[in-house]
Structure 1
Amino acid sequence: MTSRAVVVGVGHYLPQRVVPNSEFEATLDTSDDWIRSRSGIERRHFAADDETTSELATEAARAALADAGLKPDDIDAIVLATSTADLTFPSAATMVQAALGMTRGFAFDLQAVCAGFVYALSTANAMILSGQAKRVMVIGAETFSRIMDWTDRSTCVLFGDGAGALILELQEGTGQPDDRGILATDLNSDGQFRELLYVDGGVSTQSTGFLRMQGNQVFRHAVEKLAATAETALGKAGLSAADVDWIVPHQANIRIIQGTARKMGLDMDRVIVTVQDHGNTSAASIPLALSVARQSGQIKTGDLIVTEAIGGGLAWGAVVLRM
């Protein structure tokens, strides 16, 4: 028998405020057509002024618990992927732990920008396989609207706020590729590309800063690296692209999503796409898309899923799992 980290619950939360592309036309030299043609984005959600990342994460966590039929104290650990935590410290994850009324276990944040959820899944999987935890809540939550330069039309129209969560549980499998659960992971980073995507502020500079991006360069790296990491993870699992039911990619840009699918030889009808409704929600985008697709009936138990993401660092990776 082989231990597996199996998904037993998923959930998501989106702030109430919906911002269509047309809302930017009053303040920027842009248009709905311009944004759609370059990104595929039609609308996104922004958190209210008094709404924090940990609050979004808590609502997603509650939805995942309800989906799994579990209570907060059934969870051993929370891993929260975010680049926009409420405070420098303590971690947003411990705030979620308190808000849920979870009186045991441990919680911590993980920061790998848009690749954060993939990194968090890999970390949670390792904790389960090593015996540190039996059930782990993995959350991606962001309020990227807090770090936008509203005069930069090349970035501020691309991002949104939201949260998604899933619960991994230790179960026994056969060790074969048809097992449910996480089958393989692949993580990568290369710090020499820092200038391509970063925030020009932080604790050491005593400023929050704004997101800065060289979009053309990020696109060039994204398609190549995302297809490669997905294929590497599939190879580790003893599978190939032909075995995949769904790709659930980081929802950054429809052209990146299409380019990656094309490079992997997969049709777009096997790709979950939510970027049109949410924009780029960074670490939240994969669990958001996964939850939405589960709710709509697209993704079903037993489906083979590949998730892949790339973000600032550059950091990128993929996870192969069977629902």
Structure 2
Amino acid sequence: MNIASPSGWSTPRVGITGVGVSLPDRVLATADLQDRIAAASDIPLPPGLFGTVTGIERRRVAGDDEYASTFAVRAARRALAAAGREPAELDLLLFASASRDLVEPATAHIVQAELGGSAHALDVTNACNSFINGIDLARSMVLAGRARRALVVTGETPTRVMRPRLDSMAQARTAFAGYTFGDGGAAVLLEPVRRGGIVDIDTETRSEHWAVGGIFGGGSRHPRGGDEHTYFQGDGHALRGVFERIGTDILHRVRRRTGWDWVDYERVLVHQVSVPYLERFIEVTGVPKEKLEVTVTELGNLASATLGVQLARVDADLRPGDRVLAIGLGGGVSVMTMVWEKP
């Protein structure tokens, strides 16, 4: 449908007109990560365990003076430059991430203080679906006439919630998913477009599974954290089972609404936790592997930055009219899909 703002502009769609990404310089090999954990732990770890189980060879790790906002700012500058825009032209800035610099104020204000401008700034948090949730919210604000240009940024530093030592096998089982993490950031600029743009978004949420995995410290339940609540913990197998049960339903709905199948998409972007997770996704959904942009082996699980990093990597090779299907998976538990057509 067409919408109009008070200034008189109108458009039927909102599109992504600029993409940016930022990754730390430091590379941490999975073998070196395991050696570090093993040296500090009270239990033996079989050689090569982390690499064999996750399929992750390496990941990027933030430096001591780098924060979630650091990567968001760097990615934001690149997205704005790609679109030929300045911070002063923004009406909305969303920091959409599982990580943050502080509990209060919103990290979006830290990002905006570095970028400049005075857009309405706030945080959006929904685990690894935060970034795609932020895109959905920004699109809705543009369609509602509340903003003309919106910048959605994420900065993820989940390597800081890896447990540094293992005291028992029971602890190892709940901590292991945390050893998939890598750090990085991404950003997209959204504004009205005359063709293409975001043409479909869907969500599926099963909140009864919220306790399957997460970082449970820092809020009103465990305000002081403590070791048991400071680090990521969860049941990776249970999470995968939930995603398998609900993920195929949402993909069927997208197919029915759009009439498009795998062949109609130039690329398919999917949140990537580990290689076995990705292989199971391919098996369950039937997506052709050549449609995927595989990042997990070299970057690990980038949390909400995963889809943004993948989009930045494929964007240069896309032609006007090419379609991309993005599939987000997040703790809580939620699944999201977004169909985007390059203008």
Between the aligned partners of 1:65 and 1:249, the Cα distance in structure 2 is: 24
Deviations 1:113-144 (A, max 9, x none): 01112211211111111111111111222111
Q: State the Cα deviation string for residues 36-78 of structure 1 (Å, max 9, x = none).
A: 4332311111111121111110001011111111111122211
What is the match of residue 276 of structure 2?
Answer: 255
2:19 to 10, 17, 25: 10
CA contact (8 A) 2:76 2:153 kept: yes
Distance 1:229 1:219, change over 3 A: same
TM-score by length of 1: 0.90
The 3 A distance-change label for structure 1 pair 199 and 25 is: closer
Does residue 113 (structure 1) correspond to residue 127 (structure 2)? The answer is: yes
- Residue of structure 2 aligned with 1:21, choices 22, 30, 44: 30
- State the secondary structure of the residue aligned to 1:113: coil
Quote the offset at 1:293 in angstroms: 2.4
Moved >4 Å (runs of 4+): 29-33
Partners in 1 of 2:281 and 2:128 — Cα distance?
A: 16
Instruction: Output the amino acid matched with 1:170.
Output: P
The one-letter amino acid paired with 2:209 is F
Question: Distance in 2 between the 1:215 and 1:163 partners?
Answer: 24
Q: Distance in 2 between matches of 1:280 and 1:31?
A: 22
Amino-acid identity (%): 28
Q: Is the 8 A contact 2:31 2:48 kept in 1?
A: no
Question: How many residues in Structure 1 have an aligned counterpart in Structure 2?
Answer: 314
CA displacement at 1:288 relative to structure 2: 0.9
Residue 34 in structure 1 maps to residue 45 in structure 2: no
Deviations 1:177-232 (A, max 9, x none): xxx11111112222211221111312322234211110111111223433332332
User: Helix, strand or coil for the counterpart of 1:134?
Assistant: coil
User: Comparing 51-60 with 233-242, which one deviates more in the overlay?
Assistant: 233-242
165, 171, 176: which one aligns with 1:154: 176
Alpha-carbon deviation of 1:31? 6.8
Change (3 A) 1:245 1:261: farther
Change (3 A) 1:267 1:240: closer
Q: One-letter code of the match for 2:321?
A: G
**Residue 302 of structure 1, aligned match among 293, 301, 321:** 321
Give 1:149's aligned amino acid: R
8 A contact 2:22–2:71 mirrored in 1 = yes
| 1:203 to 1:265, Cα distance in 2 relative to 1, 3 A | closer
Question: Which residue in 1 is equivalent to 2:65?
Answer: 50
Q: Distance in 1 between matches of 2:209 and 2:288?
A: 30
Compute the displacement of 1:247 (Å).
0.8
CA distance, structure 1, for counterparts of residue 185 and residue 321 of structure 2: 24
Question: Does structure 2 conserve the Cα–Cα contact (< 8 Å) formed by 1:5 and 1:171?
Answer: yes
| Deviation sequence 1:248-297 (CA, Å, 0-9, x none) | 111212232233233332210011111111111111111011112235x3
Which of the pair has more CA radius of gyration? Answer: 2
Deviates further, 252-261 or 39-48: 252-261
Q: CA deviation at 1:94?
A: 1.6
- Identify which range, 284-293 or 227-236, moves more after superposition: 227-236
Moved more, 42-51 or 252-261: 252-261
Is the 8 Å Cα contact of residues 184 and 234 (structure 1) preserved in structure 2? no
Q: State which of 264, 285, 295 in structure 1 corresponds to 2:306.
A: 285
Residue 333 of structure 2 is matched in structure 1 by: 314
- Compared CA separation, residues 184 and 271, structure 1 to 2 (3 A): same
1:58-97 aligned at under 5 Å gives the runs 58-97=73-112
Aligned in 2, Cα 1:111/1:16: closer, same or farther, shift over 3 Å? same
> Could you tell me which of 138, 148, 153 is aligned with 1:134?
148
Pick from 206, 209, 223: which aligns with 1:190?
Answer: 206
Equivalent position of 2:168 in the other structure: none
